Amino acid sequence: MDRSTPLLRVHDLRIGFDLPEGRLVAVDGVSFQIRRGSTVALVGESGSGKSVVSQAIMGLLPRPAKILGGSILFADPEKPGTITDIVRLPVDGREMRNVRGGRISIIFQEPMTSLSPLHTVGNQIREALELHRDVSAREATELTRDMLA
């Protein structure tokens, strides 16, 4: 595996919602890859499945959603030679918790509702650092200040 291996390879992903009125297949065979240092934009009309694909990558699908097939292959540059299929990781397991927020992050839409009046932006950044990096509370505070600066 070299630097040209895509960081993320979504292959033939299918996601359905089991609703009282039946199964709705919201994502039906989506494939794309993200290479190192590149930016990929998912473009589509409202309701076409952009958010659901992103939630699947983060292991954050809402309860009625199920991954019906396909794979999300993550080649973490910090683990050369290993490729992890996110679809197969238990969403609440240690490995997925490490990926989520530690290796792959998401910035949610609509910041006015995503930001919480009870937690400062600095606290939220510091929490991620404390969870995912081996730093003291004081170092986390300093790092957070540096980032915001």
Piece of the chain touching Mg ion by CB under 5 A; list 32-40, 45-53, 74-82, 85-93: 45-53
**CA distance linking residue 127 with residue 39, whole number of Å:** 26
**CA distance linking residue 86 with residue 117, whole number of Å:** 32
Residue 47: CB minimum distance to ligand ADP, A: 3
- Residue 14 or residue 50: which is nearer to Mg ion going by CB? 50
Chain centroid offset of residue 53 CA = 9
Is 48 one of the binding residues for Mg ion (CB under 5 A)? no
Would you give the end-to-end CA distance of the chain in angstroms?
A: 36
- Please select the residue that binds ligand ADP; options are 8, 11, 14, 26, rule is CB under 6 A: 26
Piece of the chain touching Mg ion by CB under 5 A; list 9-17, 44-52, 76-84, 124-132: 44-52
Residue 147: burial class (beta carbons within 10 Å; 0-12, 13-18, 19+): exposed
Is 93 one of the binding residues for ligand ADP (CB under 6 A)? no
* Residue ranges binding ligand ADP (CB under 6 A): 17, 19, 24, 26, 44, 46-52, 62, 64
